[in-house]
Structure formats: C-alpha cells, structure tokens
Copies of this chain bind each other. A is one copy, B any other.
Amino acid sequence: MPRRLKGASSADTRSAILDLIRSSGRVSRIELSERSGLTEATISKIVRTLIDGGLVVEAGFAESTGGKRPVLLELNASSRYALGVSLDYARISIVLCDINGAALHSHSLAGTGRSKPQTVIERVAREIAKFLDKHGIARDDVIGIGVSGAGRQDASGGVLRSSRQTGEWEQFAIEAALNEASGMPVILENDANCAALGEFWSGRVSTAHDFATIYMATGIGCGIVINGDVYRGASSNAGEIGHLSIDIDGPECFCGSRGCLEVMATPAAVVRNARENRGLWERLDLRDREGEDVRASFGTIAAAAMAGDVDAETLVRQAARHLGTGVLGLANIFDLDRVSLAGPGFAVAGPIYLQVVRDVLDRLAFMRKVHPVTVEMGETGPGAAARGAASVVLHSHLTPHHLRA
C-alpha cells in the first residue's frame, strides 16, 4: 500500500510524490492523484518541477481507460547518485547507488585499524574522488555520502562514540571532517540503521509495516523502522540489542553489564567459545585476535557447521539460540510481526540462524496466539552496510519528512 499524503508542506509534497513514483515503478498522473489525494492540477505542477529538475522522466503510455492513453512517469534512475561508506576496523567499503537504491559500483579498501581518524577520513575522501573519476560520475550528481559506523553516536555532532574504537574517534566529528575533505554532504548512521533502511529501500519490506532488522557483523545491533523511518530514540542510539542482557550473571561485557548478546551471541563470542574446544580449535586452525582474524575464524566455524561438523554446529546453534532469545525480547517489547536478519555475520551459516530464530519465535513469542512473527533473511554480502548507508542518503533526501516523528 502506498503511503497516503496528509498536509505536507510543498517541499514535503514534492518529496512525497517522488517517493510515490519510486515505490510505484511506473505510474500515471491520474494514479498519483488517486494515491496521494492531491488534485490532478497540483500533481501536474509538481511533476513538471520534477521533470525540469531531471529527477523524473516520461516513459511510455498506460492502457487507455476510455479516453487518451495516460503518460507514465518513472524515476530517472541515473539522474543522481548516492554514495555509501562503511567504516570498519578490518575493511572500508564504498558503494555507489542510483536513485532507486540499486548498487552500481563498489570498492573495498583497508580498514580503519588503529589509524588516526583524520588520516582515515582523508584516505576515504581520496579514494572516493578516484572512484567517482574511474566511473565517470560528476561530483555534482552525487546527493551525498552516507557513512555507516558501529557503536554509539552523538548525532548532533556527527560523532561516533563507540567504546570499540580508540578514544580518538570519541571526539571526532566524522560528518564535518568528511564533508570538509570531500566537498559533499555527509550523514552518519549506525550500521544496523543503515541495514534496516537498506531493507526498506530494497523493496523487500512494505513501507506500511513496522519491522526490525537484526544486523550482525562481528557485533550485533538492530535497526527498528516505525512509521516509515528508523526509530532513533533520545540520541540516535536506539537499537542496541547487542547490549540486551539474556544472562544477568553471565560473562562480563565491555559495556560494564553481563550476559549481553555481545558476549553471548556474536561471531566474536562464537570464536571465544570455540577456544574451549581444543580439538575443534586445532582442527579448524582458528585464531581469535581482533578484527579480520575473528571474522575469518567465525567464517571457518560457520562453514564447518554448515558442512556438518558437530562441534562447530553446536557452537553456532548455541549462539543462534542466544540471538533468538534476544530477538524474542525485542519482538515481545515491540509486538513485531516481522524481523529480518542481515549483515555479513549471517553470510555463511544464515540457514542455521534463520531456522533457530524462527523456532524460538514460533514456540515462545508472547503474542503467538494472536499473530505469527515472520523472520526472513536480508542482505548478507560484504557491501550490505555501505549500500544501506547510501539508502540513508536517499531516504534523507527523497522521503517526505512529515512522515518522521
């Protein structure tokens, strides 16, 4: 169901019509009028400005319903672009999307590692410039850069405040620095919110639905979409399911609490638990140092679990059950009927996680007698966060803001 327009200001109305055209694929002015509740005269005026601005093009005719065949409109997909960047300890990804949110090109570079923030940002800006040149994209045609980062943020200052980064990132204004270095508008969003908006823009989830996307890389977060936008909370840090405790006297977490999903269910936790099984550890040649090591070791365990290694499967199933218990809490608190699992943490053993999480929700969701909770797999490729970050730019630029809180 397309969103209904109600009392938007003229800029909002324009965005809303753009959004209706995007979500419709191809659509006539009459249909836009019917779906928006605006008069055909108003629609015609708005469509004119969108065509003049190069955002919308006419694309053939619809069937006649008696009179003249109505002209169909569609987004001019290559009129503008959005860039997404995911800043990760082990790897930085850059993705270029068209105005529909489809990924056109991507590029990978070395991660942030222990480099100084300013050094990283300048490197990213240089790589972006080269990347755009290589693909013949004019800087003026890029709406902006979405940056995906893990951990706490200070939204007002565009600052990452993650305990997992070095202290220098805590005071570092990423948005301002990358804007300065690249000359383009920049928006910072946490990786889970990027993934949720990526799901939304992928068209896999209807805009009429509230839903949550569990995002798993080496850590776990979630993006919660309410009324067509990410729910951000008091300081843009909503969705920290990684710090939901499912074992009050369990192992200590870096956040100070105990038994958080972060220490019970993440790929890093699976690798730590694997160390206690010496046979498995040596058989699979595992390592549990930071960053790429954990990711590689988890990938190895996940692959072994999928191949039927009983020890590996036990570890992955245990992590999946822990994750499922956290998702169960989330579903009970939000009364969700839809959850997606996304991010590179699900790339290999996704089917196991999907089966276990589904089973937990089917058996235990508090509202199971009223409605089921659907769990689906979302995007798990290495560029998921970066593509999501580009979606954040599109969402911020093209979505009617009156739909936001």
> What is A's interface to B at a CB cutoff of 8 Å?
6-9, 152-154, 161, 170, 210, 222, 224, 226-227, 231-241, 243-249, 255-257, 259, 264, 321-322, 325, 328-330, 332-338, 363-364, 366-367, 369-371, 402, 405
A152 touches B248 (CB 8 A): no
Among the interface residues A233, A241, A264, A405, which one has the most CB atoms of the partner chain B within 10 A? A233
Among the interface residues A153, A161, A240, which one has the most CB atoms of the partner chain B within 10 A? A240
B245 touches A328 (CB 8 A): yes
**How close is A219's CB to chain B, nearest CB, in angstroms?**
12
Collect the chain B residues with CB atoms within 8 Å of residue A367's CB.
152, 234-235, 237, 240
17 new A-B contacts at CB < 8 Å, known A240-B335, A245-B325? A6-B402, A154-B370, A226-B226, A226-B405, A231-B334, A232-B335, A234-B336, A237-B370, A238-B333, A239-B333, A240-B333, A240-B366, A244-B244, A246-B247, A246-B259, A255-B364, A329-B329
* Complex Cα spacing A364 to B262, Å: 14
Considering only CB atoms, which chain B residue lies closest to A153 in the complex?
A: B370
Considering only CB atoms, which chain B residue lies closest to A330 in the complex?
A: B333
Q: For A152, give its contact among B233, B255, B366 (CB under 8 Å).
A: B366
* Complex Cα spacing A91 to B369, Å: 27
Collect the chain B residues with CB atoms within 8 Å of residue A364's CB.
255-257
* Complex Cα spacing A222 to B371, Å: 20
B329 touches A245 (CB 8 A): yes
B234 touches A371 (CB 8 A): yes
Q: For A235, give its contact among B154, B246, B363, B370 (CB under 8 Å).
A: B370
**How close is A74's CB to chain B, nearest CB, in angstroms?**
28
* Complex Cα spacing A243 to B402, Å: 34
B239 touches A152 (CB 8 A): no
Q: For A234, give its contact among B210, B222, B246 (CB under 8 Å).
A: B210
Considering only CB atoms, which chain B residue lies closest to A367 in the complex?
A: B237
- Known: A161-B369, A246-B248, A325-B248. Is A402-B7 also a contact (CB below 8 A)? yes
